[in-house]
Amino acid sequence: MTDLIDGAIGWPAEAEQRYRRAGHWGDDTLGDLLARWAARYGDAVAVVAGPTRLTYAGLDRAAGDRARSLRALGIGVGDRVVVHLPNVAEFAVTLFGLLRAGAVPVLTLPAHRQAEIEHLAALSGAVGYVGPDVVDGFDHRELALAVAGAVPSLRHLLVDGEPVPGTTALAGLPAGTAEPLPEPDPGQVAVLLVSGGTTGKPKLIPRTHRDYAYNARASAEVCGLTADDVYLACLPLAHNFPLACPGLLGTLGVGGTVVLAPAPSPDVTLDLVDAEGVTVTAMVPPLLRLWTDLAGGGRGRWGLSTLRLVQVGGAKCDETLARRVRPELDATVQQVFGMAEGLLNFTRLDDPDDVVAVSQGRPLSPADEIRVVDDRTGDDVPDGAVGELWTRGPYTLRGYYRAREHDATSFTPDGYYRTGDLVRLLPTGHLVVEGRIKDVINRGGENVAATELEEHLLAHPDIAGAAVLAIPDDDLGEAVCAAIVPARGAVAPKRRAIREFLTARGLARFMSPDKVVVRDELPLTAVGKIDKRALGEQLAGAPVTRCARLACPAASRPTPRSGPAARSPGPG
Ligand code: OOB
């Protein structure tokens, strides 16, 4: 194993040679690549954000200037800097400026707050923070000052906007000198991404120049991106999906234009599609549902005539929704099952609609190695059976950043990353995601896969959102709780109706929710996935229900209904 900076573990020499020979890994840093793209696409528009339009040459120049200013401050090779910017042009300038200076951006999500930023700044030993001034009434400068109070390494608090005492405006940085910028090693860490897990504290994922450049280039290829494409970043750019799958980096690599949506809300993003002639975008399933509801089939004020490809990923897209995209939005849907840790699976543009509707894609690279295993024994499961997905490859990490203890359980001795995702492999080589290992409810000995039940619930015409989670139960240990959001204009079905619906779909009785709660909306994570931890906390505060008290897990008698649950909002 090669040791990368400060404890990130690299690939063994044998794998490195293999990836280089196959042409996956090159010798460019991400900073070099921007210069290359600028030479090729000079005056073409690279980034659009509100009234700002940056050409490739303009972005290249701005990134170089920023790199020199950062170096003048003393920020140099290997220094970590927390980037906490929304989707603004400054994100691209800061990202490439840091890369050019040889520094390592720590890409945090705009929705992160002091607890997360403090943790990530301390974990990375960051020397700097770059954030906006005030967004939607939230003062990032105060956050930065508070974090700096707790994390002594944090010396430079840089503001995109108006500074306050103790912080410095990006616009006011010294120009720096014309001395040549450093040339970082392409095998070193380029960026630190934040892990997407919704349990425990976020971890940092080291992505090297080589592996991330390949990630973006190969993703662009699989999407058939060209210089004519206009990519809309709906999701926060700090997330791997809109950043490099293909996202910002993949689109810039082919000379296309990246339009930054200031907010993911459908009215903003749909308007941008028409205004900027967007051809490709990426979103999480809840947003895709809003798009199709609002704009599908010619509804609403949007033409969407340029849109050709809608990527959906981050969480499972149910079949019903996936099938609506082509007829209603007149675009190809591409399922993307990815992770900040590396492995990306895409349905291909020429996959039959039936495969695209039910699978979450197949690995991006011919060099991706995947195994579907029994997580207790580590043996491969029989063909087509459900097991945990293990993977290694040219853009999948071999270890988290400064987390050796965690690595011991997250990786096998031969370098496979244990994803924690439960999948099944179709004969075509496509994967179907069946849930997360930790997302299986043990209902008195019967296993209820939350994802599977959610998909069945979403097939109900009156249900627009569903999240299934375990609630403690004296008799069963865990009982099944479904939080549902009624479809627009519909009345939420009652628990009995849901049970009949599920039974008609052939589901075992024990799969029927013991409790149903109705919500106007479900809490979302920083990137827009359903946040089950927050939901669990909300439900824990809700009145206790007795409706789940079954004597036996597979009992067929009706569940007794009494107690406070009868008064809680909308139980079935
Ligand atoms: C993406 O990355 P993360 O790091 O925020 O989350 C990764 C996890 C996966 O391990 C899996 O549990 C879940 O999110 N996930 C999906 C999924 N895509 C991700 N579960 C079911 N179906 C899918 N299509 O979420 C991410 C990174 C790059 C591209 C796309 C998504």
Q: How confident is the model at residue 509 (pLDDT cuts 50, 70, 90)?
A: confident
Q: At what angle do helices 285-295 and 319-329 cross, to 10 degrees?
A: 40
Sequence-distant (6+) residues with CB within 8 A of 396 are 341, 342, 343, 368, 417
Least confident segment among 152-166, 275-289, 334-348, 553-567: 553-567
Least confident segment among 27-31, 84-88, 143-147, 501-505: 501-505
Rounded distance, CA 311 to CA 271, Å?
A: 18
Average the pLDDT over 546-565 and give the result.
30
Rounded distance, CA 136 to CA 263, Å?
A: 11
Least confident segment among 129-143, 255-269, 315-329, 470-484: 470-484
Q: Is 292 in the pocket of ligand 1 (CB under 6 A)?
A: no
**Predicted local distance difference test score (pLDDT) of residue 9:** 64
**Strand pairing category for 45-49 and 138-139:** unpaired
Q: Summarize pLDDT for 442-490 with one digit per residue, the tens.
A: 888 778 889 889 999 999 999 999 999 999 988 888 999 999 999 999 9
Average the pLDDT over 9-25 and give the result.
94
Q: Ligand 1 mean position to 60 CA, how many Å? A: 31
Q: Are 501 and 460 in contact (CB under 8 A)?
A: yes
Sequence-distant (6+) residues with CB within 8 A of 140 are 84, 131, 132, 133, 134, 159
**Predicted local distance difference test score (pLDDT) of residue 196:** 79
Nearest atom (ligand 1) to Cα of 361: 24
Q: Is 272 in the pocket of ligand 1 (CB under 6 A)?
A: no
Least confident segment among 149-158, 199-208, 284-293: 199-208
**Predicted local distance difference test score (pLDDT) of residue 469:** 94
First-to-last alpha carbon distance for the chain, in angstroms, is 55
Cα dihedral 124, 130, 136, 139, rounded to 10, equals 80
Q: Is 244 in the pocket of ligand 1 (CB under 6 A)?
A: no
**Predicted local distance difference test score (pLDDT) of residue 452:** 86
Nearest atom (ligand 1) to Cα of 451: 21
Token readout for 448 is 């209820």
SS3 (DSSP) at 104: strand
**Predicted local distance difference test score (pLDDT) of residue 511:** 87
pLDDT at 300 over 90: yes
Nearest atom (ligand 1) to Cα of 312: 24
**Predicted local distance difference test score (pLDDT) of residue 197:** 62
**Predicted local distance difference test score (pLDDT) of residue 8:** 52
Neighbouring C-beta atoms of residue 498, cutoff 10 Å: 23
Least confident segment among 114-128, 196-210, 325-339, 544-558: 544-558
Rounded distance, CA 19 to CA 451, Å?
A: 35
SS3 (DSSP) at 294: helix
% pLDDT > 90, the chain = 82
Average the pLDDT over 25-44 and give the result.
97
**Predicted local distance difference test score (pLDDT) of residue 292:** 96
Q: How confident is the model at residue 569 (pLDDT cuts 50, 70, 90)?
A: very low
Average the pLDDT over 265-290 and give the result.
96
Q: Is 318 in the pocket of ligand 1 (CB under 6 A)?
A: no
Sequence-distant (6+) residues with CB within 8 A of 316 are 285, 360, 433, 451, 454, 455
Neighbouring C-beta atoms of residue 114, cutoff 10 Å: 13
On average, the pLDDT of the chain sits at 91
Rounded distance, CA 435 to CA 457, Å?
A: 15
**Predicted local distance difference test score (pLDDT) of residue 539:** 87
**Closest residue CA from atom 12 of ligand 1:** 421
3-state helix, strand, coil in the chain (%, to 5): 35, 25, 40
Q: Are 480 and 453 in contact (CB under 8 A)?
A: yes
**Closest residue CA from atom 21 of ligand 1:** 316
Average the pLDDT over 361-382 and give the result.
97
**Predicted local distance difference test score (pLDDT) of residue 175:** 93
Q: Cβ-count burial of 266 within 10 angstroms (0-12 exposed, 13-18 middle, 19+ buried)? A: buried
Of 198, 203, 336, 339, the one to substitute when testing ligand 1's pocket (max ligand atoms within 8 A of C-beta) is 339
**Predicted local distance difference test score (pLDDT) of residue 4:** 47
**Predicted local distance difference test score (pLDDT) of residue 199:** 53
Which helix or strand (DSSP H or E) is residue 399 part of?
Answer: none
**Predicted local distance difference test score (pLDDT) of residue 527:** 87
pLDDT at 554 over 70: no
Average the pLDDT over 359-366 and give the result.
98
**Predicted local distance difference test score (pLDDT) of residue 165:** 98
Domains and CATH numbers, the chain: 58-185 (3.40.50.980), 222-436 (3.40.50.12780), 440-540 (3.30.300.30)
pLDDT at 570 over 90: no
Rounded distance, CA 486 to CA 437, Å?
A: 28
Sequence-distant (6+) residues with CB within 8 A of 303 are 274
**Predicted local distance difference test score (pLDDT) of residue 440:** 85
Q: Is 431 in the pocket of ligand 1 (CB under 6 A)?
A: no
